[in-house]
Amino acid sequence: MLLGGILVGAAGTILTVLMCEAMNRSLLNVLIGGFGGSSATSGAAKATGDQVIKEVTLNDAAIQLYYANSVMFVPGYGLAVAQAQKVCKELDDLLESNGVSVKYAIHPVAGRMPGHMNVLLAEADVPYPKLLDLDDANGALPNTDVVVIVGANDVVNPAAKTDPGSPIYGMPVLNVWEAKNVIVMKRSMRSGYAGIDNPLFFHERARMLFGDAKESLQKLVAEVKAL
């Protein structure tokens, strides 16, 4: 039992250090530090200036997906909470049957632990070759027709690259805004774990689809079947 405890503790420590490196934060900062700016108190992303949030209807989203050449899902904590991985795989199968190439972009710290998304998608029988790591996904995103973000937030925040004042500046993120179209599935405009605004929500290529991840995916499945 002692040996088993040591091995588990060592593995957990290694995973924690890897997560800290991926988030560009020190271990001490993660353990005792706060994370985020003023938006953490409001709990919602805000538009500034002439920024406008654009929503997409279920029917329009289904049409975009069904007639795309390539689609990339970006799973996050919202997918895990809603237990939506199997419905996502069902939508994947429908699109593939129509000749759409479907991949999954996996950020190393998406969810609440390294490998969280890999485990959930493996549970839904998503073939491992469909899972792209950070570098491979970023290489494929500029040639992707539609990106569907399912409950991810901080790992797709462009402020990590563009805002030196952001708490996540320098953190490797998925460059989803480089795709031709982006559909962001979220319950609301609330911020993610970092407690900061996400400029992606106001990007010219991004459209918001509000609702529970599982319910929204189920409705998308029904819409795609009706096409």
The residue written with tokens 């129509």 in the block is 98
Dmax of the chain from CA atoms?
60
Rounded-to-integer distance, Cα 214 and Cα 227, Å: 20
Contact between 24 and 182 (Cβ < 8 Å)? no
- If residue 137 lies in a helix (H) or strand (E), which one and from where to where? helix 134-140
Residues 6+ apart with CB under 8 A from 148: 65, 71, 72, 73, 74, 183, 185
Rounded-to-integer distance, Cα 116 and Cα 89, Å: 16
* CA-wise closest residue to 147 among 220, 74, 56, 222: 74
Rounded-to-integer distance, Cα 84 and Cα 90, Å: 10
Three-point CA angle 96, 101, 105, nearest 5°: 115
Write out the catalytic residue numbers.
154
Bridge partners, residue 70, by sequence: 101
